[in-house]
Structure 1
Amino acid sequence: MPNSFTLAKRNTILNRMAELLEQERSSIKIVNQEDIANYTGDDLAMKKRLLVDDQKIDGMIASLLQLASQEDPVGKLLYSFTPENGMKIQNKTAAFGTILIIYESRPDVTVEATAIAFKSGNRILLKGGKESLQSNLKIMSLWHQALSDNDIPNSWISYLNFDRKETQQFLEKPSQKVDLIVPRGGESLIEFVKKHAVCPVIVSGRGNNFVYVSQEADTEKALAIIINGKTSNISVCNALDKVLIDINLPNWEAFAENVVSELQKRNVTVLGDATISKVTSVPQIESDLIWHEEFLDYKIVIGTVNSNQEAIDKINTYCGGHSASIITSNDAIAQDFMENVDAAAVYQNASTRFTDGGQFGLGGELAISTDKLHQRGPLGLQHLVTNKWYIYGNGQIR
């Protein structure tokens, strides 16, 4: 980043973008309706992600303002060492350089992910889906206005209006330097990027999140958490897809029947393992392969386990490495569960829907990584940096 491109300048641009979103609120919604009218698919989750309404715009503005208020993630001292020869050795955070974000359907990503990458000192390349093209281009015009208002070249934030073939060619032979790629979308998009990219990729993976209702669960809390996780927003990766009930829970059959009834009242299709199907009369799953699936729909699978360890093993076998929650009043059991479940975010007595950069105080997120390198879970401002060594000497030789 040029020396003149100060933190104050970056914050000014973020604040200006927030102003422009408010000023252009009506026109953004009108353009977004064109995308919605042109969408001919039957993917309910994608259609929900495509919509830009006042609530979504409020969220974009809040994210920009929160990011503008946060400290600079670049240049933070991570390590310092002075050897016997008198050199001063430091390790500091540094921007990646150029980040390519490939995403589907969600125009709000054009604001939030861009803002995080930009505040972190990076140039940004955006490749959105064709279903949200008009909304993305409208938002991009506002980014370019915010940049030009502050005498910053538009090249800092660019949109790649490529089809699938052009995207593949760019991934395989980039026409400009790309230091990091972050794909945000379904499994087919992620596999496409991983297959063709020649530079590092951070995977924003699938959800397929679990709630385990242990034998010491508060069933009222458990029911509320299950309903929230499944029905509050089906189109997000932190939504709930699987429930495990410990058969040592007192009156577990009545609890299972109540959960099924409340989900069905909310138009959720409920499937069960053999035990749940027998107790509640819901259809039995045809294969254990369904435990691997992320639904992004009004659909859920409920199963039973006989111990905490069985729950941990089942979650580690099938979950997407995203989020898992245990419902229990036993803190020791909860801690054992949280330490041994292999997921980016683990919970006690709370909904998986909280796995979100904004909810975690990060000012939004670039993505939610299910990789273990370079960072896991919501990728916020402080995670979108690499590091660099600075060595100060006065003639030392080795």
Structure 2
Amino acid sequence: METRAQKDQVLKALATLILEQEAAIISANEQDLKAYDGADESMYDRLKASPVKVKAMADACLETAAMEDPVGKSLYEFSHPNGMQVVNQTVPFGKILIIYESRPDVTIEAAATAFKAGNKIWLKGGKEALHTNTILAELWHQALKGQGVDTGFVNYLKLDRAATQKLIKDNPYRFDLIIPRGGERLIAFVREHSNIPVIVSGRGNNFLYVGASADYDMALSIIKNGKSRISVCNALDKVLIDRGWPELEDKLQHLSSALSEAGLEVIADQDGWAGRHDALQPVPESVWYEEFLSHRIVLKVVDSMEQGITLTNQYSGGHSATIVTEDQEQARVFMEEVDCAAVYHNASTRFTDGGQLGMGAEIAISTQKLHARGPISVGQLVSNKWMVYGKGQIR
């Protein structure tokens, strides 16, 4: 197992290589962008590797290097009456496979988190980012080789769908963990064809509830920020507004107009909406389940916070939810009862991100409850093992 110093040296070397090769990375990315038909704006945004994104990749490596090594930490110690010393400590998962779509920065960030935690990782990126991912994988190998570390810690797979299906079914590499990072079809594909333990980095479809005591300007600012990027899983899609909000009709009209002026397609559920609005009436149930990844947003008036919690738990992806209110007790109840990985009071869902939550680079954001929930970074990519030290004791 590599020492912390070796791992950190590799990550720092990789950061330097990324910055040195910025032009080559962007050139490769331009080939991918040119090959993509551009029909899906959110896909294009995820695919594009701008200078800002390239720098973010390098920064992610440095942030990960600066983090505490998660391996070998004692979780529990016990001195047995017979003299044995019992220690439960953290160990790497082992071999991780991640299958992801369009985002070349995952090639850097996912591998950085896995490597720092002592794991070997196999990266299966989408064909739409092939040129960009290829050069990034080459930089990984340069950094590993330059520090005398086995290049087998980071492996890039160029497989079609049929070969990927065979890989996850037969599991020739004996993967300990698989992470499908993408849309619901990808996740369903992995679940159908693989018996490997899965961490689901699921859909967003995030909800916001506006309480009766909410400040209008704060609510508008948080909602608009939630749609500041449409291609990310922490974007906001549904807004539920308490019927008890003072001057409700005026605020609804102002809110709808402000969001439309910001370039959003406002879908207003007319149930309980007294004023006129050229929108779906009512919003179909399929839309409530949908993660938009677009400029659409739904507004709905609800009778109570309890109804808001019920709708959030029924339709959201279990990713993020927020409440805007000045009522501290109401906020506490909402945050305890909403079944999402991250819940916020008077803050944007856009903060559900490993870096924003002080965790550095992330490999995924888990919407399940086993093995981890929310952003999965270095500290979550470990398992544990019981180490028992004796002197001939028998039972």
Same fold (TM over 0.5): yes
- 1:66-145 mapped onto 2 (5 Å cutoff): 66-145=63-142
8 Å CA contact 1:256–1:276 kept in 2: the answer is no
Q: Which runs of 4+ in 1 moved over 6 A?
A: none
SS in 2 for 1:161: coil
Provide closer, same or farther for how the CA distance between residues 70 and 114 of structure 1 changes in structure 2, counting only shifts above 3 A: same
Q: CA deviation at 1:202?
A: 0.2
Structure 2 unaligned regions, length at least 5: none
With the length of structure 1 as denominator, give the TM-score of the two structures.
0.97
Q: CA deviation at 1:308?
A: 1.3
2:250 to 254, 262, 266: 254
Percent identity of paired positions between Structure 1 and Structure 2: 49
2:163 is equivalent to residue 166 of structure 1: yes
Q: Deviations over 1:152-197 (max 9, x none)?
A: 2221111110000000000000221211001110110111011111
In structure 1, what is the equivalent of residue 309 of structure 2? 312
8 Å CA contact 1:260–1:280 kept in 2: the answer is no
Q: Deviations over 1:252-283 (max 9, x none)?
A: 21111112111111221111112366524131
In the alignment, the residues of structure 2 paired with residue 389 and residue 301 of structure 1 have an alpha-carbon distance, to the nearest angstrom, of 50
In structure 1, what is the equivalent of residue 219 of structure 2? 222
In the alignment, the residues of structure 2 paired with residue 250 and residue 218 of structure 1 have an alpha-carbon distance, to the nearest angstrom, of 10
SS in 2 for 1:279: coil
1:238 to 234, 237, 250: 234
1:33 to 19, 30, 37: 30
Q: Deviations over 1:124-163 (max 9, x none)?
A: 1000000000000010010000011011222111111000
In the alignment, the residues of structure 1 paired with residue 160 and residue 44 of structure 2 have an alpha-carbon distance, to the nearest angstrom, of 20
In structure 1, what is the equivalent of residue 193 of structure 2? 196
Structure 1 unaligned regions, length at least 5: none
In the alignment, the residues of structure 1 paired with residue 154 and residue 233 of structure 2 have an alpha-carbon distance, to the nearest angstrom, of 26
- 1:1-398 mapped onto 2 (5 Å cutoff): 1=1, 5-230=2-227, 232-275=228-271, 278-284=274-280, 285-398=282-395
Q: CA deviation at 1:385?
A: 0.4
In the alignment, the residues of structure 2 paired with residue 62 and residue 336 of structure 1 have an alpha-carbon distance, to the nearest angstrom, of 37
SS in 1 for 2:317: coil
* Aligned partner letter, 1:234: I
* Aligned partner letter, 1:83: H
Provide closer, same or farther for how the CA distance between residues 41 and 277 of structure 1 changes in structure 2, counting only shifts above 3 A: farther
In the alignment, the residues of structure 2 paired with residue 78 and residue 164 of structure 1 have an alpha-carbon distance, to the nearest angstrom, of 41
Provide closer, same or farther for how the CA distance between residues 24 and 280 of structure 1 changes in structure 2, counting only shifts above 3 A: farther
* Aligned partner letter, 1:376: R
Provide closer, same or farther for how the CA distance between residues 277 and 283 of structure 1 changes in structure 2, counting only shifts above 3 A: farther
* Aligned partner letter, 1:337: F
* Aligned partner letter, 1:94: V
8 Å CA contact 1:60–1:112 kept in 2: the answer is yes
Aligned length: 394
